[in-house]
Structure formats: structure tokens, C-alpha cells
Amino acid sequence: MKKMMFLAAALLAIALFWSVPAFPGQVPASVVPSEARWIAHLDMEKFVATSLYGYLEKSGVIEIKSADVNKWLKLDIPKDLTGVTLFGLGDEAKTDAVVLIAGRFDKPGLLAMIAQNQEHKEIPYAGTTIYSTGAEEYGAFINDHLIALADSQAGIEKALDAATGRTKNFSGTTLSSALKAAPGDAFLSGVLPKLSKFGKEIGESKMLEQASGLFFLAQEAHERLLIRVQVTAETAENAKNIADILQGLVALGRMSGDKDKTSQVMALLDGLQVSQDGKLLKISFERPSKEIADLIIQSRGNKGLLD
């Protein structure tokens, strides 16, 4: 609930003096600072266009059942959002995550909502306004179609600095070049050069603790879901250890048969391919979109995926 309130509050922000180009679905590179440590991007328009999404929507499992979503955000998420980008700032001791949401927003409605909020704070910054509704809830409109959200004021300020040209953005950086390696039809992609900088959860993963970098993407072709992950390990031996763990999971899945509820999920691992080239580990997964959708539908029952 707190995260939903945070998102709703951040969407109340409004910029006053400038507009930065934001292209539907694409990474808003001009807003990502050059110091970004990692980045992940969901092209909502491409995802909604997939057969996978179509199957899930038809079943009702992807229905957003939280009654307050449309009331608070005043948008239809699948139709009005075009892209969501996350990037990380800071060092290993403290990582600030910033979320950029691109879409079609009801600005008059959002302005009316913010006028009714007696507890919000307005923080002037570089010709615009940062809005806050709590100690760790900040947001600002970059332009009419792009919103920045963060848990820290500093994160928002750095996004605004990049957007206005006060500091360099990540175009031309190694991180940007790595992200461009994703094919044009990928609806999900991300680059994490240093996994420890992404967050405690990944940094403490038993499998990924031996990896130094990660690249991933998801796309759909001919109604088949394709997922590719490329892991860069510290050493070739570490890469082999990760490969052994994955292959062990596949073997366990094949041995489980129908003995437990995970058998259907583990059966999908037949579509998992693992190859190693020195310190580089390549993992690919391909299955029919209908098969993946059916599994999600069965596992969720009558619950909405975004409940």
C-alpha cells in the first residue's frame, strides 16, 4: 500500500519551465545521469503487443483489481503507460533507485489532486518543482509525458540535472552501449555491471555471488517467449560453478515428475540452454507464449497478476 501511495503521490508532480523529448517506450536517455550504475527498462507498448500479454489479458489474470489504482493515478496502466525505466545511483554502501515512467497523464486531474493534499511539500529546484509526501517519497514531472520517482530528493535532483543538461547523461557511456545490444523488439532489457550495486537481495544470492555482471532481455517472436541472460563471472571457474548450479536445477526438475506442485514449473526448464565461454555464461530460454501464459493463469487462479 505504501508503494502505491508513493507512486500516486509522485504522479502529482508538475514541471513549470521546460520540456525534454521522450519517445514512446524507449529509454529516456537524456534523463539518466552518466553516473548511473545499472539500468533496466520495460517497453510497455511492446509488452502489451505480445501474444503473451494477450493471453493473460483475455484470461483476466492480468487485471488490475486494486480499486484505488485508477482513482489515484487517473490512468489505465496498460493503455496509458508507454515505458518504465529504473536506474541506480550511489555506491555499494548506499544505492538510490530512480524510476522514470513515460506515458499519457491527466495533468489537470493530477494538479487538482495535489491541491487537495494539505501535507505535501513543494521543493523548488532548477526551474521546476519536486514534490514530496513523506521522508522517502519524491517525484517530479520531467515533462508532460515523463515522471521521475525516487526514495531520495538527491535521486530526483540528479535526474533533473541530466534532463536540463546541467550534468552529462548516460548516452555514450559503457552502460548505454551495453543496453543497446538488446534487439529492437525486446520488451524487457537490463544491464547490471556490478551486481553488488543493484541491491542487497541480489548481492547476497548464493548463485550470483560469484558473478560480477549481468545482462538480460526478453522478447517474443512467432508467439514464442525468448529470454536471454548473459552473466560475466569473476573467473572461468566461477562461471562453471554457476553453470553447474543451473544444470543441477534442471536435473532436479526432471526428476520431480508429478510428485509436487513445482513439477509444471520445473518442466519448463527443458527450454533452458546453458553455455560457457571462459568467464562468460550464456543462458537462454524459449517456450511457446501460450504455454507460459497457461502456467501463469493456473498458478494465479482467480487472482489478478497485479493484485
Q: Is residue 306 part of a domain?
A: no
Q: Is residue 232 part of a domain?
A: yes
The 10s digit of each residue's pLDDT in 154-189 is: 999 999 999 999 999 999 898 899 888 888 889 999
> Which pLDDT score, from 0 to 100, does residue 223 have?
94
> Which pLDDT score, from 0 to 100, does residue 85 have?
92
pLDDT at 249 over 80: no
Q: Is residue 262 part of a domain?
A: yes
The 10s digit of each residue's pLDDT in 264-297 is: 556 666 678 888 889 898 989 899 999 888 887 8
- Cβ 175 vs Cβ 193: under 8 Å: yes
| Number of folded domains that form the chain | 1
| Nearest C-alpha neighbor of 14 from the set 153, 124, 92, 175 | 124
Report, as an integer, the average pLDDT of 56-66.
69
Q: Is residue 48 part of a domain?
A: yes
> Which pLDDT score, from 0 to 100, does residue 159 have?
94
- Domain residues for the domain of 65 are 2-300
Of 4-18, 136-150, 211-225, 249-263, least confident by mean pLDDT is: 4-18
Strand duo 280-288 + 224-233: pairing: antiparallel
> Which pLDDT score, from 0 to 100, does residue 220 have?
95
pLDDT at 6 over 60: no
> Which pLDDT score, from 0 to 100, does residue 234 have?
82
Report, as an integer, the average pLDDT of 193-221.
68
pLDDT at 307 over 90: no
Q: Is residue 305 part of a domain?
A: no
Q: Is residue 72 part of a domain?
A: yes
C-alpha triplet 112, 118, 121: angle, nearest 5°: 90
Q: Is residue 226 part of a domain?
A: yes
Q: Is residue 243 part of a domain?
A: yes
Count CA atoms closer than 13 A to 272's CA, side-chain side: 19
pTM of this prediction? 0.80
C-alpha 138/C-alpha 280 separation (Å) is 38
> Which pLDDT score, from 0 to 100, does residue 133 have?
73
Q: Indicate the average pLDDT of the chain.
A: 76
